[in-house]
Amino acid sequence: MCDFGQCLQCNNLDCFDERMDKMHEECGIFGVYSLDDKELDVAGMTYYGLYSLQHRGQESAGIAVSDSETIVYHKDMGLVPEIFDKVVLNHLKGTMAVGHVRYSTTGASRHENAQPIVVRSRNGQIALAHNGNIVNAAELREEMEQCGTIFQTTNDTEVLINLITKHSISTNILEEAVQKMMLDVNGSYGLILMTANKMLGVRDPYGIRPLCIGKTSTSYVIASESCALDAVNAEFIRDIEPGEIVVIENNEIRSIKSFNKKDTRLCIFEFVYFARPDSIIDGASVQQSRYEAGKRLAIEHPVEADIVIGVPDSGLSAALGYSRQSGIPYGEGIVKNRYVGRTFIQPSQGMREMAVRIKHNAIKQTIQGKRVVIIDDSIVRGTTTRRIVQILKKAGAKEVHMRVSSPPLKYPCYFGIDISSRKELVANKLSIDEIREMICADTLGYLSLEGLLETPIGAKCGFCAACLTGDYPIDVPEEGDKFSCGC
Amino acid sequence: MCDFGQCLQCNNLDCFDERMDKMHEECGIFGVYSLDDKELDVAGMTYYGLYSLQHRGQESAGIAVSDSETIVYHKDMGLVPEIFDKVVLNHLKGTMAVGHVRYSTTGASRHENAQPIVVRSRNGQIALAHNGNIVNAAELREEMEQCGTIFQTTNDTEVLINLITKHSISTNILEEAVQKMMLDVNGSYGLILMTANKMLGVRDPYGIRPLCIGKTSTSYVIASESCALDAVNAEFIRDIEPGEIVVIENNEIRSIKSFNKKDTRLCIFEFVYFARPDSIIDGASVQQSRYEAGKRLAIEHPVEADIVIGVPDSGLSAALGYSRQSGIPYGEGIVKNRYVGRTFIQPSQGMREMAVRIKHNAIKQTIQGKRVVIIDDSIVRGTTTRRIVQILKKAGAKEVHMRVSSPPLKYPCYFGIDISSRKELVANKLSIDEIREMICADTLGYLSLEGLLETPIGAKCGFCAACLTGDYPIDVPEEGDKFSCGC
Amino acid sequence: MCDFGQCLQCNNLDCFDERMDKMHEECGIFGVYSLDDKELDVAGMTYYGLYSLQHRGQESAGIAVSDSETIVYHKDMGLVPEIFDKVVLNHLKGTMAVGHVRYSTTGASRHENAQPIVVRSRNGQIALAHNGNIVNAAELREEMEQCGTIFQTTNDTEVLINLITKHSISTNILEEAVQKMMLDVNGSYGLILMTANKMLGVRDPYGIRPLCIGKTSTSYVIASESCALDAVNAEFIRDIEPGEIVVIENNEIRSIKSFNKKDTRLCIFEFVYFARPDSIIDGASVQQSRYEAGKRLAIEHPVEADIVIGVPDSGLSAALGYSRQSGIPYGEGIVKNRYVGRTFIQPSQGMREMAVRIKHNAIKQTIQGKRVVIIDDSIVRGTTTRRIVQILKKAGAKEVHMRVSSPPLKYPCYFGIDISSRKELVANKLSIDEIREMICADTLGYLSLEGLLETPIGAKCGFCAACLTGDYPIDVPEEGDKFSCGC
Amino acid sequence: MCDFGQCLQCNNLDCFDERMDKMHEECGIFGVYSLDDKELDVAGMTYYGLYSLQHRGQESAGIAVSDSETIVYHKDMGLVPEIFDKVVLNHLKGTMAVGHVRYSTTGASRHENAQPIVVRSRNGQIALAHNGNIVNAAELREEMEQCGTIFQTTNDTEVLINLITKHSISTNILEEAVQKMMLDVNGSYGLILMTANKMLGVRDPYGIRPLCIGKTSTSYVIASESCALDAVNAEFIRDIEPGEIVVIENNEIRSIKSFNKKDTRLCIFEFVYFARPDSIIDGASVQQSRYEAGKRLAIEHPVEADIVIGVPDSGLSAALGYSRQSGIPYGEGIVKNRYVGRTFIQPSQGMREMAVRIKHNAIKQTIQGKRVVIIDDSIVRGTTTRRIVQILKKAGAKEVHMRVSSPPLKYPCYFGIDISSRKELVANKLSIDEIREMICADTLGYLSLEGLLETPIGAKCGFCAACLTGDYPIDVPEEGDKFSCGC
């Protein structure tokens, strides 16, 4: 358990909340290809696109641009607007750009792990941005090491680029090399590749991570989520299909679909937690899916109560759905401090009680004397949930009924979500009633798996729910194996 | 008008939004007095208190502590968690502390304007933190200059501390000197004064700025808003009364009320916009007041529509109230990018269209084909509102009915709100129908003044609504006078 | 004694060397007045002037400019080129400028102590830059506090500006107020005052700190040392006389000399150590003075030896003089690491031996098997000297004859040099022979006081040598009194 | 020519001086191997070692340590003491360390070029630090690219590590792979390699860059220059021989010498300019060599004069030698501003005249009315030299006789010195008399090549003087070829 005083990595409370009690997906990617518009500010567009994908990663960001001869790039630790200013963007001139935002990893060499990775190879310069996780990266790396390849990072992306380059020896066509790479690797990936004069968007055969394409009058755009298309005023064309390679070259876009469409497996937590509510993924609205989850929760776990509230921000839609379905009024019961950021001082021994309220506070007028239904999207370790119940009770709630808009999290994710082992997951150790007791709630109800899978209304895909079921679409390492969660 | 490319002060879009389209109050203050608890981490408590008041000022912050002999302090530009780390807090040992967060002012000497101001005087060392604005500061400064006083800042706070020190010549009792100062100055102020061994909380005779006191088992606490008491787990005692001086000394608290309770005038915009929703000010809940405003708007300006949505964050409560009153369903229609911070690159000429969406985006599923009621708390210049209507229409709204949970802003504020002249206020130049046209809404309805003044349910005070009426409680400079808006 | 592991202030070895083993003067000042040349870049000139005075203070720097109506300024912690860039300098437009570099003081509020201090007063805006130390500042401050004045810094400069402003009540002529201030204060000072439209250069009646004036075709320049005149290509006019006020106004320069020229007392250590060798002060060349000191040392303390070397940089001139006089060849025997700067990690226990060489190393080829005469300008605590002898012996010196180009330091300085008490001075505790033993030298010889006072060849002034004799020109606090060494 | 106002790379005057008028070698390397002393602070020792090699590179620095299982590292842009503090060094625990300081290169991806480079390969983790330049790096890179290798930097070091790893496929013994790599590459290199449990020191077959080994009671040390051995109190053992591989493993040191000792070619400019005067390289003292150069100059180019002075710092030793040989007195005539660092503002149009003196100033007393011999180590572009002559003339020198302690620079260096083309070299365009005229000197004399090659008294090696003769020991690119000068 992450004790405030002892855990070195948790030098802030926010970490306690975010890293330990919430899962995190690890990256957002964005690419733009200018259609003969020499004036188009592709770096600027990528800046806006990454800004709107910032929720997918706050540790580092980078942008690479090609002027059709040379690729130059800039990447650094920090938020998008901290890394890029006018001077930097003005140096990133070109007709194509690819960008990346990355969630935090630990370790000393974090700067080296920033993306896009830009290399020189027999294909010339290549920039690669990757969202996801390669399950057999260690084996692939070792194999290639035996053949004399060196690795400068612990990043899966370096494995991918090396594979692509190796395969380029037997074929001079980049997309064929990428296809061969896709046969080698197991795992989740959304990729954007850029050479001096073409751009590829690639999605893994199971479609575990999202990726979509859009269009403006003068460019094609590829992005992790549709909200980034909106951000640059691009029109949504379609999601890239699982296993598909989209190639943009000579101002034309074409598609290579060499993988039989298996049962596709989009990560269900994109809808539960990761994606922005204004995004639409594989046909389903994220916000609507959360709202629907709330409605289903109300059916599966009804309760007599006076008010329904959500934990901001991701619990609000579900709370609204629960309210609509149950007829119990929706209210604002919890305030989130918008300024709690990445740095935060550990509370001294005597002040932990205070630190509880730094991130969330209750609105007494809404809560006092009420039987409260409170909705959150998930429970990871249980500590934040316990704290929120505590805040509500202190504010005078007569009863607190916790409803969770996803089933219990029991299994680690090997496809890009930062839950490194089962041990952290409270639902892996305790029964639902024990969890209820631990979090001091009067009742506790989780949405059923069946219910959850129905929430992405209109989705044209299947889902990966392995963290809930243990049923992984791909062979994964034995429990207890060392597991390096790259991005 | 603030043209993106030309306004020097607006080197970010956020500025465009926040500085120009929203009003800003300027400061938050916090004090803690330890009751014989030598171990109490008063600087740490102040850190948490300021953290929860960060919405009242993001430019600079400072903490001064007294160990009953000496006052030491640390202040700098930036957010609370950026300025204070463990090393700094560990150097701030004492039994009393006073802290301050400050909203941005322009000018070169910004560091000099950070608070608390700490001086040596005939009263020994004094630390002073001030929230508000002194209307006759320039006259007072000039008068004192003629008597040989020098001023090192353009800060009203320096005027106050000089006045108190001058009056201390004729009386050795600090609180008497403060009373005399209160006779000299016209304006709004919440003050916390700290000498080596006593602490004073002072509120101006009209009670324009809020200030309240609380208690833990081992300390007294003074804060701008009750949410800061919650943040340090303190129990709310009461608001400091308009014109009251609260003295905490020798572990006892006492009160000096030498001003006849006039018609008090709490700034109504604390309820509309400034204060945090979980705060309770002069007896009224901020969140409830906003919710009530929405209900009254629904009565005053009904419309046939399919959905009610709010502009996050401050419009959400009113939207909920409008929905409840009107029966039109409440929905989530607008997403706010949580990472849009203080730095932001100006969009190049060709990218303004994109920049529009960096802060807000619409959720299409909620909006498409609907007649939408959208609620915001106020309209200052009109540009942000126009942009939001535009986003909704692009997302497919059939009709957009703008409702504003306060009356038209027509007059500048002289009591601490950063609206420097009438010229920026769209309601000062255009009729309501012209504004409707400018923002491209189908209908536009403002809450009436009478309605607004009823919203702070349970409030035990009168209100200043001069920015809406021009009826200032205190003589103010002629329009066009130079006006230095200190804090 | 400053133990590496314990002294908080000494978080670097450099501190060990520079703060403890060397004395430091505390400030450099520079002013420029444009003669009707609107295009003259007065801030840029001040930048160059301060750059050349950087050796007089590295903690903070500031520049204030007047455009004949308003004074604006910029100051910060750091070196001149770190604080000022093109953007900042471009904002400092005007026809007069005054700048300041400041040596390190301790304490939390260091930013507040940066100069020039700029205030609003009955004289309008005034900027003041000060080099020196006011002995009776505490008394003056207390007196003024009793009259209702507040002090925001612990800076003597704030005392001076308050005094001038108080005296301005009885006279409207600034220079008269300054004259009255000069009657109040005891201490050392070079001052540059700037109002919106005039500039004053002031030197204390004893002339303890240097100050000179120069001229270009379009401006007058005032500076602490003549090397700053060279830096801006100005022609040296003359030193400002002790007790003189130079007034530059309406493009004319005039002088007020109301103090009888007493026996003047220029600080002798300006020649020994502080000033740049290329400066000429009160008629004497600094470099020549040091060379002369070496010649006299050779006469007073001859020795049979094979080579004469100096401790870089300030011991080199004297070594050359010793060599010339004695006929013993001059050589380069010690290298100084040019990159040892302001930050330096304390060596861990096992590595002190290594840390010895980080700043200085011996050149074996020069030293090995030789009888070495090594010259340094002074010995403060003795530790650096001991270290240098050790390095020479390790490099194979057969004998090490230490010669010091000034007499033993026995008394604290109250006029601006940072030696806070007698206790640190090795010559105050030990006899010369004991010092010789402590530093492990074979012989040790100090220059006599009489000898030293003859070294500034051509000087038109007397000297303060109180740190050598205890004979202070002004009443100073009793030994043991608290002594705040401002600047 | 580098015009102040136009050259983007020259955003500082210092650049003007240092980059354009002086050549720069590019790196310093340092390694330490602990002999069973678990407590030895190998990172701390490397810190001190790099500090003393800082003159060889100021752009970036890095340290990698091995605890015999894992290699961790930290590297960043900046000076050694800026990059490493106690916290960082405490994280670098191990029994071996290798460090690197790097001189500035231009371009966006500078962080990526910092060393040591640390990779995972079939040899396990390897850290590599490199000083020098590989002439055929582009060919080697291209060849390997064709075989599927990718390159993430433009650094020669990445080429070397890839070659070593490739060769490791056919042999499992690292030192054999290194030998094979040495057969592939043409160029200059001093290398330190570190795996988890062994360390290698490698010097190129011509010995172009220096590298030496030393010993303390508990460790072996490898360093670019002997001054770094002194810095950690290590005893000099010997120089690593050209073509030699030194292996330190299992607490033992052994040597592999598979290259026939050809005519060795140590870079003569190590003696002229790059190395620290207290270093001894291949048997010759750097300081003594410079002194000798001065003596020979006096014989080759005698002149009647009154004083001999040197341009600080590297011209001082030669000036002393000239003085000794000629009998003309040695004096201090030029002061160098110690605070002119890496940032410096370009002088505005009207202020270039002033900027001349920011770095150097003359001491008038020494110069006035004298016939001056001034010695500098080399002339690159001539601009700094012209400026110094100008300063001397302005200070009253009757005649200025420039003597240069090396022959005219006419050819670019391909072995690690940053002179990218002939065009910058004044001696390539002008005759000696034209140069004399350009720099406004009365006479000008360069040391002859024969003379120079005699100066490293006692040297046990031959020299590369290709920049003076065009006689490169290795085939180099045609003039005009693109030439990327890595390190």
Determine, for residues D119 and A166 on separate chains, whether the beta-carbon distance falls below 8 Å.
Answer: no
Q: What are the backbone angles phi and psi of residue B464, rounded to the nearest 5°?
A: -95, 120
Determine, for residues A148 and D168 on separate chains, whether the beta-carbon distance falls below 8 Å.
Answer: yes
Q: Could you tell me if B447 and B361 lie in one domain?
A: yes
Q: Is the pLDDT of residue B478 over 90?
A: no
**DSSP string covering D216-239, please?**
ETTEEEEESSHHHHHHTTPEEEEE
Q: Which residues pair with B443 in a beta bridge?
A: B401
Decide which of C213, C238, C264 is a domain's last residue. C264
Q: For the segment D424-466, what is each residue's pLDDT rounded down to a tens digit?
A: 788 988 999 999 999 999 999 999 999 999 999 999 999 999 9
Determine, for residues D72 and A147 on separate chains, whether the beta-carbon distance falls below 8 Å.
Answer: no
Q: What angle do CA C323, C324, C330 make, to 5 degrees?
A: 35
Confidence of residue C86 (pLDDT cuts 50, 70, 90): confident
Determine, for residues D345 and C40 on separate chains, whether the beta-carbon distance falls below 8 Å.
Answer: no
Confidence of residue A355 (pLDDT cuts 50, 70, 90): low
Q: How far, in Å, are A153, C16, D383 from residue A103 at the CA level?
A: 16, 43, 50
- What's the rounded Cα separation, in Å, for the pair C282 and C292? 17
How high is the pLDDT of residue D7? Answer: 28
CA D255 to chain A, closest CA, distance in angstroms equals 26
For residue B327, give the amino acid letter: G
Query: Which residues of D make up each annotated binding site for Mg(2+)?
Result: 314, 376-377
Q: Tell me, rounded to whole angstroms, the distance of Cα C165 from its chain centroid.
A: 28
Q: Is the pLDDT of residue D487 over 50?
A: no
Q: Could you tell me if C255 and C402 lie in one domain?
A: no
To the query of whether residue D27 is one of the catalytic residues in this protein, the response is: yes
**For residue A49, what are its two tokens?**
């696109």
Determine, for residues B146 and C122 on separate chains, whether the beta-carbon distance falls below 8 Å.
Answer: yes
* Residue B224 near residue B190, CB atoms below 8 Å: yes
Q: Report the candidate in C384, C5, C358 with the shortest Cα–Cα distance to residue D232.
A: C358
Q: Could you tell me if D294 and D173 lie in one domain?
A: no
| Domain-located, residue C475 | no
Radius of gyration of chain A (CA): 23
**Test the C interface: residue of D15, D30, D51 with most C CBs within 10 Å:** D51
- What's the rounded Cα separation, in Å, for the pair C123 and C100? 21
| Domain-located, residue C161 | yes
**For residue B319, what are its two tokens?**
């939207």
Q: Could you tell me if C240 and C305 lie in one domain?
A: no
How high is the pLDDT of residue D347? Answer: 59
Task: Say if D and B touch: at least 3 Cβ pairs within 8 Å.
Answer: no
Write the CB contacts of B317 (distance below 8 Å, at least 6 apart in sequence): A332, B277, B287, B290, B291, B293, B294, B310
Lowest mean pLDDT among C371-385, C419-433, D47-61, D297-311: C419-433
D162: number of CA atoms within 13 Å, CB side?
A: 24
Q: Tell me, rounded to whole angstroms, the distance of Cα B80 from its chain centroid.
A: 16
B15, B27, B212, B461: the active-site residue: B27
Structural domain containing residue D93: 24-264
CB atoms within 10 A of CB C369: 10
Q: Could you tell me if C285 and C254 lie in one domain?
A: no
Confidence of residue A13 (pLDDT cuts 50, 70, 90): very low
**Who among A74, A119, A145 is closest to D121 (CB)?**
A145
Q: Could you tell me if A184 and A218 lie in one domain?
A: yes
Q: How far, in Å, are A108, B184, B434, D85, D157 from residue D63 at the CA level?
A: 12, 64, 67, 12, 15
Q: Could you tell me if D225 and D121 lie in one domain?
A: yes
Q: For the segment B54-78, what is each residue's pLDDT rounded down to a tens digit?
A: 999 888 999 999 999 999 999 988 8
Report chain D's terminal Cα–Cα distance, integer Å.
25
Write the CATH number for C135. 3.60.20.10
Q: Could you tell me if D96 and D140 lie in one domain?
A: yes
CA B26 to chain C, closest CA, distance in angstroms equals 23
C312: number of CA atoms within 13 Å, CB side?
A: 20
- Length reported for chain B: 487
CA D332 to chain C, closest CA, distance in angstroms equals 7
How high is the pLDDT of residue A313? Answer: 87
* Residue A393 near residue A364, CB atoms below 8 Å: no
- What's the rounded Cα separation, in Å, for the pair D114 and B473? 64
**For residue C165, what are its two tokens?**
């402003």
Residue B320 touches chain A, beta carbons under 8 Å: yes
Q: Could you tell me if B204 and B148 lie in one domain?
A: yes
Q: Could you tell me if C301 and C410 lie in one domain?
A: yes
Q: For the segment D294-317, what is each residue's pLDDT rounded down to a tens digit?
A: 999 999 999 999 999 999 988 999
A173: number of CA atoms within 13 Å, CB side?
A: 7
Determine, for residues D151 and A73 on separate chains, whether the beta-carbon distance falls below 8 Å.
Answer: no
Write the CATH number for D413. 3.40.50.2020
Residue D234 touches chain C, beta carbons under 8 Å: no
Q: What are the backbone angles phi and psi of residue D469, rounded to the nearest 5°?
A: -115, -20
* Residue B43 near residue B224, CB atoms below 8 Å: no
Confidence of residue C340 (pLDDT cuts 50, 70, 90): confident
**DSSP string covering D153-220, please?**
SS-HHHHHHHHHHHHTTT-S-HHHHHHHHHHH--EEEEEEEE-SSEEEEEE-TT--S--EEEEETTEE
Q: Which residues pair with B57 in a beta bridge?
A: none
| Domain-located, residue B32 | yes
| Domain-located, residue C376 | yes
With a threshold of 0.90, tell me whether the complex ipTM lies above it. Answer: no
For residue B338, give the amino acid letter: R
Long-range contacts, stretch A175-182, CB < 8 angstroms, 24+ apart: A175/A200, A175/A245, A175/A247, A175/A256, A177/A123, A178/A202, A178/A245, A179/A245, A179/A256, A179/A258, A182/A243, A182/A259
How high is the pLDDT of residue D226? Answer: 97
What are the E-state strand segments in B174-295?
187-194, 198-203, 212-216, 219-223, 235-239, 244-249, 252-257, 266-267, 280-281, 284-285
Q: Could you tell me if A191 and A46 lie in one domain?
A: yes
Q: How far, in Å, are A289, A375, A426 from residue A315 at the CA level?
A: 12, 6, 19
Q: Report the candidate in B378, B208, B234, B242 with the shortest Cα–Cα distance to residue B310.
A: B378
**Mean pLDDT calculated for residue range A246-275:** 92
Write the CB contacts of B173 (distance below 8 Å, at least 6 apart in sequence): none
Strongest mean pLDDT among A65-79, A84-98, C212-226, D342-356: C212-226
Q: Is the pLDDT of residue B383 over 80?
A: yes
Residues of C in contact with B149 (CB under 8 A): 121, 148-149, 165
**For residue D278, what are its two tokens?**
């207290």
Q: Report the candidate in C162, C198, C189, C191 with the shortest Cα–Cα distance to residue C177.
A: C162
* Residue B457 near residue B284, CB atoms below 8 Å: yes
Dihedral of alpha carbons B469, B471, B472, B473, sign: negative
User: What residue of C is the nearest CA neighbor of D359?
Assistant: C52
- What's the rounded Cα separation, in Å, for the pair B31 and B42? 9
- What's the rounded Cα separation, in Å, for the pair B197 and A29? 57
CA C398 to chain D, closest CA, distance in angstroms equals 19
Q: Report the candidate in B48, B98, B29 with the shortest Cα–Cα distance to residue B230.
A: B48
Determine, for residues A230 and B317 on separate chains, whether the beta-carbon distance falls below 8 Å.
Answer: no
Determine, for residues A44 and B348 on separate chains, whether the beta-carbon distance falls below 8 Å.
Answer: yes
How high is the pLDDT of residue C20? Answer: 37
**Number of domains composing chain A:** 2
CA C184 to chain D, closest CA, distance in angstroms equals 37
Q: Report the candidate in A396, D454, D363 with the shortest Cα–Cα distance to residue C290.
A: D363
Determine, for residues A91 and D73 on separate chains, whether the beta-carbon distance falls below 8 Å.
Answer: no
Residue A250 touches chain D, beta carbons under 8 Å: no
| Domain-located, residue A357 | yes
Lowest mean pLDDT among A229-233, A242-246, C300-304, C344-348: C344-348
Kindly state the DSSP code that residue D112 receives in the 8-state scheme: G
Decide which of B229, B264, B299 is a domain's last residue. B264
**Who among A72, A109, A166 is closest to D148 (CB)?**
A166
Lowest mean pLDDT among B105-119, B170-184, D231-245, D266-280: B105-119
Task: Say if D and C touch: at least 3 Cβ pairs within 8 Å.
Answer: yes
For residue A62, give the amino acid letter: G
Q: Report the candidate in C403, C395, C190 with the shortest Cα–Cα distance to residue C311.
A: C403
**For residue C287, what are its two tokens?**
């470099």
**DSSP string covering D291-316, please?**
HHHHHHHHHHS----SEEEE-TTTTH
User: What residue of C is the nearest CA neighbor of D335?
Assistant: C278
* Residue D212 near residue D236, CB atoms below 8 Å: yes
- What's the rounded Cα separation, in Å, for the pair C310 and B168? 60
- Active-site amino acid positions of C: 27
| Domain-located, residue D19 | no
**Mean pLDDT calculated for residue range C243-264:** 91
CB atoms within 10 A of CB B252: 9
Residue C453 touches chain D, beta carbons under 8 Å: no
Q: For the segment D149-178, what is each residue's pLDDT rounded down to a tens digit?
A: 999 988 899 999 999 999 999 998 999 999
Q: What is the largest CA-CA distance in chain C?
A: 73
- What's the rounded Cα separation, in Å, for the pair B291 and B286? 9
| Domain-located, residue A31 | yes
Q: What are the backbone angles phi and psi of residue B66, rounded to the nearest 5°?
A: -120, 135
**Mean pLDDT calculated for residue range C59-84:** 92
**Mean pLDDT calculated for residue range C236-245:** 97
**H/E segment holding residue C366:** helix C364-367
Write the CB contacts of D62 (distance below 8 Å, at least 6 apart in sequence): D73, D74, D75, D76, D83, D99, D100, D114, D115, D116, D129
* Residue A33 near residue A96, CB atoms below 8 Å: yes
Return mean pLDDT, chain A.
87
**Who among C278, C332, C337 is closest to D287 (CB)?**
C332
How high is the pLDDT of residue D19? Answer: 37
Residues of D in contact with C365 (CB under 8 A): 280, 285, 287-288
Q: How far, in Å, are A2, A93, D451 from residue B12 at the CA level?
A: 39, 21, 63
| Domain-located, residue B10 | no
- What's the rounded Cα separation, in Å, for the pair D308 and D366? 10
Q: Could you tell me if B29 and B94 lie in one domain?
A: yes
Residue A149 touches chain D, beta carbons under 8 Å: yes
Q: Report the candidate in C146, C144, C180 with the shortest Cα–Cα distance to residue C162.
A: C144
